Amino acid sequence: MQMSDRVIEIFKQMSQVPRQSKHEEKISAWLYERAKSNGFDVERDDANNIIIRVPATPGYENGPIVVLQGHMDMVCEKTPASHHDFSKDPIEVIIEDGWMHANQTSLGADDGLGVAMALAMAEDKSVEHPALEILVTSDEETGMTGANALKAEQIKGRILLNLDSEDEGIFTVGCAGGRETRSTLPLTKSPIPAGFRAVTIHVAGLKGGHSGCEINVGRASAIKLATRLMHCVLAISSDARLVDIKAGSAHNAIPRDAIVTLAVPAGDAHQITAKIDEMSKVFAAEYAKSDAGVTVTSKIEDIAGDAFDNASLRKVADLLICFPHGVAAMSQDIQGLVETSANLASIKIADNTLHILSSQRSSVASKLNAITSRIEACLRLAGGEAKSNEGYPSWKPEMDSDVLKRCVDLYEKRFGKKPIVDIIHAGLECGIIGSKIPGMQMVSFGPTVVSPHSPQERADVTTIPMVADFLVDLLKSYK
């Protein structure tokens, strides 16, 4: 079996095991048992991190220990039509026309392919390599919990190959740092006046995507579009009320759909739906290239009971339109690189309170603090509260490291062309690991994965053998 076929087979096996972020018990156990069955020494810590120690092959005993690193969890996104249950259903892996994708869900190639590649290297007895430490971390996607829990003494190697990049032919040597903010805004309920109707607005058909890798391509945010529609409604119906609002899911996914239900005077309902139809055409024109499938639909229904009052609706609409989302600044040092951004990731109502999840990224620590402070100020002005976590540090590049020079030379020898050396706006665990283990040389690479963190996620199958063969060459060079 070719190495790339082995990688795909292991990935398919992994895809049978639930591995949603913060629910990694089953995949962690699966990795542990797989390592044991292959006779490897394996450690599973309290954070569900897995460390597999693989002895050097004959002749490589004096080589340096190399760490192959990836994460076990995946962002779980699905289309509105999908009934997939990520807590128990396997991911259906489909390969067609040179691409690998799932059936109406995210694929989990981020970073299942990286983990599968590390396992394939360890399990194939024909691969020559020095001693390996395979580090598979937990909960990378929603907080880098596993990397944060890692202790320096758990890892002996000082050369780390992160297999969590998504563009073949690009070696990543730096990334942004990030923080999450959870915000709350109290709302006030009151009885819905007689003669009111419910108008439910549904924004759908957006591409979404990775809030680090794709924040700069100008894709629409379902939350921001829904917010504009709420302001349109308030311009027509000054006494409109908020019944419910829900949009988005993961902190690192651009929100793809939103549903808002409002209570409005019956006499305003048809004028409002006509305005919604008009705005649907406006949005289609604005996002014809980035989100060609955008749709906005509305329906009118009877309603009774309570709703959040007009003042609450105005607070929500004003807060969300002021809330930062998208690129805030481009790098002054590297052309085309996003320096600072924010992702207004998800909103929902629970316990008479609006809950907002956002994530901020920046390669400049002071700028990361600044945009987070802006969000916190917006909440204070609206009468709410924002709590931000400590986040994770950026990964500062070392352009003259031995591992990078080795990667570039070996890539050029194998493929006859120079690779790209890059810094990305997305977050990688290298920043955390490097801060814990001084002297760690790191580089990140992987096969091409498009639209991660969305149901449109797909992997270019032709790039899997390229990365696998390169990794074989790289390990063989450490004799």
pLDDT tens, 367-401?
999 999 999 999 999 999 999 998 999 999 999 99
Continuous segment of H or E residues that includes residue 473:
helix 463-476
Active site residue 73: yes
> 397 is written with which tokens?
């590049």
Distance, CA of 370 to CA of 379 (rounded, Å): 15
Mean pLDDT of the chain: 96
DSSP one-letter code for 213: T
Degrees, nearest 5: CA angle 185-189-190: 155
The model's confidence at residue 1, banded by pLDDT at 50, 70 and 90, is confident
Confidence at residue 142, expressed as pLDDT on a 0 to 100 scale: 87
Confidence at residue 297, expressed as pLDDT on a 0 to 100 scale: 97
Confidence at residue 343, expressed as pLDDT on a 0 to 100 scale: 97
The pairing of beta strand 189-191 with beta strand 385-388: unpaired
**Picking from 130-134, 193-197, 246-250, which range would have the lowest pLDDT averaged per residue?**
246-250
Confidence at residue 317, expressed as pLDDT on a 0 to 100 scale: 98
Average confidence (pLDDT) over 343-348: 98
- In three-state secondary structure terms, 472 is helix
Average confidence (pLDDT) over 270-296: 97
Confidence at residue 333, expressed as pLDDT on a 0 to 100 scale: 85
* Total residues belonging to the chain: 479
Confidence at residue 118, expressed as pLDDT on a 0 to 100 scale: 98
Distance, CA of 184 to CA of 245 (rounded, Å): 14
The model's confidence at residue 334, banded by pLDDT at 50, 70 and 90, is confident
Average confidence (pLDDT) over 350-373: 97
The model's confidence at residue 173, banded by pLDDT at 50, 70 and 90, is very high
Give the residue ranges of DSSP H helices in 216-309.
Answer: 222-236, 266-286
Confidence at residue 124, expressed as pLDDT on a 0 to 100 scale: 97
Confidence at residue 375, expressed as pLDDT on a 0 to 100 scale: 98
For residue 222, give the nearest of 285, 318, 281, 295 by alpha carbon: 295
Average confidence (pLDDT) over 247-276: 96
> 89 is written with which tokens?
């259903």
Are the CB atoms for 68 and 474 separated by under 8 Å?
A: no
**Picking from 146-150, 207-211, 230-234, which range would have the lowest pLDDT averaged per residue?**
207-211
The model's confidence at residue 113, banded by pLDDT at 50, 70 and 90, is very high
**pLDDT value at 426 more than 90:** no
**pLDDT value at 473 more than 80:** yes
Full DSSP string of 159-201: EEEE----STTEEEEEE-EEEEEEEEEE--EEEPPTTEEEEEE
What global pTM score does this model have? 0.85
> 103 is written with which tokens?
């059936």
Q: Which residue has the tokens 């700069």?
A: 216
Domains of the chain: 3-176+394-476 (3.40.630.10), 179-388 (3.30.70.360)
Continuous segment of H or E residues that includes residue 71:
strand 66-71
Distance, CA of 466 to CA of 414 (rounded, Å): 9
From 73, 133, 214, 309, the catalytic residue: 73
**pLDDT value at 182 more than 80:** yes
402 φ/ψ angles, rounded to the nearest 5 degrees: -65, -40
Confidence at residue 268, expressed as pLDDT on a 0 to 100 scale: 98
> 168 is written with which tokens?
């073949």
For residue 7, give the nearest of 89, 152, 111 by alpha carbon: 111
Are the CB atoms for 264 and 240 separated by under 8 Å?
A: yes
pLDDT tens, 47-100?
999 999 999 999 999 999 999 999 999 999 999 899 999 999 999 999 999 999
Distance, CA of 358 to CA of 378 (rounded, Å): 13
Active site residue 457: no
pLDDT tens, 428-457?
999 999 999 999 999 999 999 999 999 999
Distance, CA of 136 to CA of 148 (rounded, Å): 13
Distance, CA of 231 to CA of 224 (rounded, Å): 11
From 110, 133, 140, 457, the catalytic residue: 140
pLDDT tens, 118-144?
999 999 999 999 999 999 999 999 889
Q: Could you tell me which residues are beta bridge partners of residue 265?
A: 196
Confidence at residue 160, expressed as pLDDT on a 0 to 100 scale: 98
**pLDDT value at 427 more than 90:** no
Phi-psi region at 221: left, alpha or beta (left = phi > 0; alpha = psi -120 to 50): beta
Residues ≥6 apart with Cβ < 8 Å to 349: 187, 244, 245, 246, 308, 355
